[in-house]
């Protein structure tokens, strides 16, 4: 069965033409500041892939605002501003975070939606102490390791137009939820919600995170390529963040390169590949748009859902 039967397929060149003179309001210095670890992304990638995407989103946001205005006029009701919510899903190490930051920056340059927030679902993981108590540390990142009800309550508050909503924060250094810090979301025009779990559904819940999305994106890649990117990122972190005594992975700082590759491979196979295969990849068909990366991190194809 063709997983993209209900999508329109674009090669890179055809998608790039849909930019339609949208200006590039992003400098090389800004791009460098939002680029992720071991993430290869160029201004050419921004021009050919992300500018057409942000043009499409801009059209959808304006249409949503007009529809909301028409409904309010019909009801003779002065409603609150309701954020347009974008979900970004995909595997660990596929480049979701960089994509989210690029999209956030570009969308904030449009007059119709200058306030663009970004939240990652990492903060909605259960704290490590809870995961250890539940015996779920080896399942961290799997659906059951998230406080899904807390995330759904957060989404409900945002989508109801509340002026201030708090989101928990996560430290990739300590590999744990921060108990003393939160991020405050102040009713933005657009909110981007990024995480591996954002398109997942569950038989035990009647409401899903994706129910609150106005538009969704899945960042895709061949599994063998994502595995390679994960191992490369692990090796880079071993030389940088893992050297910090506060790092959860500090114990790996003295591994030889061969040992580090083996450790990263084990973690990938035992946790991330399993989660990708069982929980993340099956949600791809639920996305409105799928971006397929090649082995060099450049987008090769774009799939836009027909209906």
Q: How many CB atoms lie within 10 A of CB 66?
A: 10
Q: Are 96 and 105 in contact (CB under 8 A)?
A: no
Q: Give me the sheet containing 116-120, strands edge to edge.
A: 7-11, 299-305, 289-293, 215-221, 84-90, 190-194, 116-120
Of all residues in the chain, the percent with pLDDT exceeding 70 is 100
Q: Looking at the domain assignment, is residue 2 inside a domain? A: no
Mean pLDDT value across the chain: 94
If one counts the domains in the chain, the total is 1
Q: Looking at the domain assignment, is residue 262 inside a domain? A: yes
Task: With cut-offs at 50, 70 and 90, classify the pLDDT of residue 79.
Answer: confident
**Which pLDDT tens digit goes with each residue over 99-115?**
999 999 999 999 989 99
Output the pLDDT for position 35: 84
Helix (H, G, I), strand (E, B) or coil at 237: helix
**Which pLDDT tens digit goes with each residue over 137-179?**
999 999 999 999 999 999 999 999 999 999 999 999 999 999 9
Q: At what angle do helices 223-239 and 257-267 cross, to 10 degrees?
A: 130
**C-alpha separations of 98 from 3, 40, 69, 305 in Å:** 25, 10, 33, 23
Greater confidence, 229 or 35? Answer: 229
Task: With cut-offs at 50, 70 and 90, classify the pLDDT of residue 78.
Answer: confident
Q: Looking at the domain assignment, is residue 1 inside a domain? A: no
Phi, psi of 230 (to 5 degrees): -65, -45
Q: Looking at the domain assignment, is residue 15 inside a domain? A: yes
Output the pLDDT for position 39: 78
Residue 207: which CATH number?
A: 3.40.50.300
Choose the weakest-confidence range: 19-28, 134-143, 149-158, 211-220.
19-28
Output the pLDDT for position 54: 96
Q: Looking at the domain assignment, is residue 170 inside a domain? A: yes
Residue 183: give the domain boundaries.
7-305
If you average pLDDT over each of 2-6, 23-27, 94-98, which comes out highest? 94-98
* pLDDT for 38 beyond 90: no
């Amino acid at each position: 069965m063709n997983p993209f039967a209900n999508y329109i397929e674009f090669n890179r060149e055809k998608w790039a033409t849909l930019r339609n003179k949208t200006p590039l309001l992003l400098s090389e210095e800004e791009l460098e500041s939002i680029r992720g670890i071991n993430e290869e992304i160029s201004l050419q990638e921004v021009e050919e892939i992300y500018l057409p995407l942000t043009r499409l989103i801009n059209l959808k946001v304006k249409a949503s605002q007009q529809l909301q205005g028409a409904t309010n006029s019909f009801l003779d009701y002065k409603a609150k501003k309701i954020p347009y919510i974008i979900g970004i899903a995909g595997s660990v190490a596929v480049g979701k975070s960089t994509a989210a930051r690029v999209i956030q920056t570009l969308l904030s340059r449009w007059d119709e939606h200058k306030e663009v927030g970004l939240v990652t679902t990492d903060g909605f993981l259960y704290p490590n102490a809870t995961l250890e108590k539940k015996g779920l540390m080896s399942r961290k990142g799997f659906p059951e390791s998230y406080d899904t009800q807390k995330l759904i309550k957060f989404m409900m508050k945002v989508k109801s137009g509340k002026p201030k909503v708090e989101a928990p924060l996560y430290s990739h250094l300590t590999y744990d939820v921060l108990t003393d810090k939160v991020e405050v979301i102040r009713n933005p025009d657009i909110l981007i919600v990024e995480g591996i779990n954002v398109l997942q559904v569950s038989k035990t819940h009647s409401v899903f995170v994706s129910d609150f999305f106005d538009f969704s994106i899945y960042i895709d890649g061949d599994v063998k390529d994502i595995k390679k990117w994960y191992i490369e990122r692990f090796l880079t972190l071993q030389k940088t963040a893992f050297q910090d005594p506060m790092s959860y992975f500090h114990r790996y700082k003295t591994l030889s390169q061969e040992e580090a590759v083996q450790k990263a491979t084990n973690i990938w196979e035992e946790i991330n590949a399993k989660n990708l295969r069982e929980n993340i990849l099956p949600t791809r068909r639920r996305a409105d748009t799928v971006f397929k990366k090649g082995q060099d991190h450049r987008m090769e194809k774009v799939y836009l859902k027909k209906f």
